[in-house]
Structure 1
Amino acid sequence: MDRLKIDTDYLIGILEDLLAIPSPTGFTDEVVRRTCAELDRLAVPYELTRRGAIRARLTGDAPRPARAIISHLDTLGAQVKRLKDNGRLELVPIGHWSARFAEGARVTLFSDKGAYRGTILPLKASGHTFNDEIDELPIAWANVELRVDAPGQTCRDLEHLGIHVGDFVAIDPNTEVLENGFIVSRHLDDKAGVAVALAALKALREAEITPPVDSYFLFSIAEEVGVGASSMLTHDIASMVTIDNGTTAPGQNSSEFGVTIAMADQTGPFDYHLTHRLIDLCNAHDIRHQRDVFRYYRSDSASALEAGNDVRTALAAFGIDASHGYERIHLHALRSLAELIGVYLQSEVEIPRDAEEMASLKGFTHQPTDTAPEGA
C-alpha cells in the first residue's frame, strides 16, 4: 500500500472550476453537471438521486463492507425575502452565515427573466449621508439589502424586471490562488473538499488500484441546510469519511497545514474505530495531522446518522481560517487529505463483521481500557 502522488495542478484547477459555478443550496444543477462531467472523464460510473446528489462507485474485490467518501457541492447564499418600496431587496440567508460577511458582497440574482448583478449593502451605506451612523447600525440580515444593477426605483420596477420573492442569490467567490500555496475565496467550504475527493479519485484511477471493498464517492447538495447525506447511502456502506473544513481559530487545534481529524462536533463523538484508523494511517504514512473538537459545527456525518443510517462516520478536515466568511486554506492541507483518502481506500478492512447490518457478538470490536504503561 503506497501513498499516492497527488496531481496538485489538477486539484487547484478543478477547485477553481467549481468555485466559478454558483451553487447555493437549492440551486445546484450546474455544479452537479460539472462534477458528473469530471467523473465521466475519469471513467468512474455514477448515479444521481432525483434532486442531483451524486453516488459514484469504484468496484472493489468485495462488495461489503463498503466505504464512502463524502463532500458537498452546495454553498452558502441567500434568497429574496421581500421587494422593497425603495427598489431594493430584503434577503434571508441560505445556510448559517453572518450578515457581517454579506455587507459589500457582489452577487448574481437569478430571476425568472434571467440573471442580474448586484451588491449587498447595509441600510445606511453612505458615510457622506449618515456619517457615524454607518458604524452604529447593528449587524443583522434585517439591516442589509440587495441593490440590483438594473433600472429599479420602486417595488413595481423590480416586478417588471421579473424579480420575485424566493429568487436565488449567489455570492461571488472572489478566488485568489497564491504562489505560496494559500487559497483565499468564499465557498471553499466545501468545494475544496470536492476537489480533494476528485484528486484522490484521479490518483487511484491512474495507479490502476482496485480497493479491497467497493468504495463510493458521494457528493451531496444540501449540507449547508443540514440534510446533505440523509438519502444517499446504500445498505452496503458501513463506514463514511466526510471531507469538510476544520476551523482554525483561537481555542481550536486545527491547522491550515496537514489533515485535521475531528474527534467530535456538536452532535457528539465520531466513530472511535474509524477515527483512529485514519490517525493510524497518518502515522504509518507520515501524513502530518492534528486532532480537534468542534463545538458549533455539524457535517454530512450528522445528517447520515439522523436519517437512521447505521454507519461509522469520521470527519477529515482541511484547516480553514474565517469559515463561512472570506475563507483561507493552504494547498498542503488539501494534498495531505487526498493522500490520506488514497491510503485509506487501499487499506484492508479491519472489522469484517461490518459487512452485515446485524450480527452476533462474534467479531465485535473492543476499546482499550487497560491502565497506560508507566512513563507512556
Structure 2
Amino acid sequence: MLTIQPNEDYILSVLKKLLDTPSPSGFTAEVMRLVAEEAAALNVPLSWNEKGGIILSVPGLDPSRTIGISAHVDTLGAMVRSIKPNGTLRLTSVGGFTMNSIENEYCVIHTRSGLTYTGTILTSHPSVHVYADARDFKRAEENMEIRIDELVSTKDDVLKLGIAVGDFISFDARAVITPSGYIKSRHLDDKASVAALLGLLESIKREGWKPLHNLSLLISNFEEVGHGTAWIPGEISEFIAVDMGAMGDDLSCKETDVSICAKDSSGPYDYAMTGRLIDLANSLAIPFAVDIYPQYGSDASAALRGGNNIRAALIGPGVHASHSMERTHKRAVLNTAKLLAAYVGAN
C-alpha cells in the first residue's frame, strides 16, 4: 500500500488561487487556464474535451487499464436575466442554491466585452425602515436583484455600461484559511477536491512514485448543472468522483473527515470500490465517514447516466453548509489526496 505525504503548502496555496478565481458553470475559461498552468509546472500532459474540460494523463506501470478520477472546478453563480427599469439587475441562478444563501453578498458582473462591475445581491424589499414585509418577504429568484456599484438609475444607464442579458455573475468567495486549519469560503464544492487532485500530481513529481495503472484525471466544468462528465474517455474502467462530503442531520461526516459515499440520488456506488476505499482509509488511520446522500449527484452520477461502461465510487473532504458559506478543514483535503494515492499507487 502506497503512503504519501501531501504537500500542505502547495495544496493550500493552489486552493486559495482556485477559490479567488471566478468560475460559475459556463464561465470557466480563466480557472481552466490556471489548472493548465499548474499541470504544465508539474510536467503532466493534458488534453481538452469539447466542453472546455481538462483531461490530465499519467502513465502507469501496467497500461492495460485506466482509472479515471474527476473533480469539478465550476461553481454556483448566476446570469443576468433582465435589466429592470430602475437600473438594477434581475438574475437567473446557475446551479442549485437557496436565495437566502446569497442575500447581501457582493458579486461581480462579467460582460462579454471583458469589462467587470461589482454589485450586491439584495431582495427588492431590502430595508426594514421602508418595507413592512422586509423580514418576511419571500426569498425567491423573482424577488432578488443586483444593485450595481455604478451611477445608474435607468435601464439605459446600465446598457451604456455594456451590461447585457446573459452576462455571468460570480459571487465573492471570501476565502480564508484560519490558523487552526479551517478553510472557509464559497465554492469549496468542489475546488477543495481539485486542489487535492493537484496535490496528488505534485506528490507524483516530488516523490517519484508511479500509479499501478494509467490515470486520467478529469477536471470537469459543468458538474453544477448536471453534465460535467456525461462523456468520459472510453478506456476508463473505474471512475472515482472526488466531490465534497455533505454534513447535517442523519449524516456522520465531519469537516476533518474524508467522506465515502455509498449511495446518492443516482443509486448505490460500486460495492467493491467503496469497500476498498474503506479498507484503505482504515489501514492509513484516515478519519472517514460512510454516508448516504439522497439529495446529491456527482460527476460519477453523470458518467453512469451518460451510458459509460464503468464502475464508480465517490469520495471527498467533508464540507459544512454546502451551497452556502462553506467550511472544511485542511486535514480532510490532505487526507483525500492521501487516500487517492493509496488507491491508485503501486505497492
TM over 0.5: yes
Give distance in 2, aligned partners of 1:51 and 1:270.
Answer: 26
Aligned equivalents of 2:295, 2:9: Cα separation in 1: 33
Equivalent residue, structure 1, for 2:133: 133
Per the TM alignment, residue 347 of structure 1 is displaced from its structure 2 partner at its CA by 4.6
Q: Deviations over 1:10-60 (max 9, x none)?
A: 111000000111100000001000000000000011111123211011101
Q: Hey, what does 1:82 align to over in structure 2?
A: 82
Moved over 3 A (4+): none
Q: TM-score, normalised by structure 2?
A: 0.97
* Counterparts of residues 289-368 of structure 1 (less than 5 Å): 289-347=288-346
- Mind listing any 5+ residue stretches in structure 1 that lack a counterpart? 349-376
Instruction: Measure the CA separation in 2 of the matches of 1:129 and 1:315.
Output: 48
Distance 1:181 1:283 in 2: 23
Contact map agreement 1:29 1:52 (CA 8 A) in 2: yes
Task: Say yes or no: does 1:34 pair with 2:38.
Answer: no
Contact kept in structure 1, 2:245 and 2:258, CA below 8 Å:
no
* Contact 2:2–2:346 (Cα < 8 Å) also in 1: no
Aligned pairs for 1:261-276 (under 5 A) are: 261-276=260-275
- Distance in 1 separating the partners of 2:204 and 2:282: 21
Q: Deviations over 1:214-237 (max 9, x none)?
A: 011110000000001112x22221
Q: Name the SS for the 1:201 alignment partner.
A: helix
Match for 1:121: what amino acid? Answer: L
Q: Higher mean Cα deviation, 279-288 or 333-342?
A: 279-288
Contact 1:8 1:335 in 2 (8 A): yes
Q: Report the counterpart of residue 224 of structure 1 in structure 2.
A: 224
User: How do 1:52-63 and structure 2 match up within 5 A?
Assistant: 52-63=52-63
**Aligned partner of 2:200: which letter?**
A
Contact preservation (8 Å) 2:128, 2:135? no
Which residue of structure 2 lines up, in the alignment, with residue 370 of structure 1? Answer: none
1:197 and 1:112 map into 2 onto residues whose CA distance is 31
Q: Secondary structure at the match of 1:164?
A: coil
In the other structure, the counterpart of 2:171 is 171
Number of aligned residue pairs: give it.
346
Give secondary structure in 2 for the equivalent of 1:116. Answer: strand
Counterpart residue type for residue 128 of structure 2: G
* Structure 2 portions without partners, runs of 5+: none
Report the aligned-residue RMSD: 1.1
For 1:187 and 1:286, locate their aligned partners in 2 and report how far apart those are by CA, in whole Å. Answer: 28
Partner residue of 1:282? 281
Deviation at 1:287, TM superposition (A): 1.7
Q: Secondary structure at the match of 2:316?
A: strand
Map 1:361-376 onto structure 2 (within 5 A).
Answer: none
Q: Distance in 1 between the 2:210 and 2:306 partners? A: 30
Is contact 1:64-1:236 (8 Å) kept?
no
Q: Structure 1 residue 8: deviation in Å?
A: 0.8
Provide the C-alpha distance between the structure 1 equivalents of 2:337 and 2:96, rounded to a whole number of angstroms: 27
Q: State the percentage of identical aligned residues.
A: 36
Report the TM-score when normalising by structure 1.
Answer: 0.90
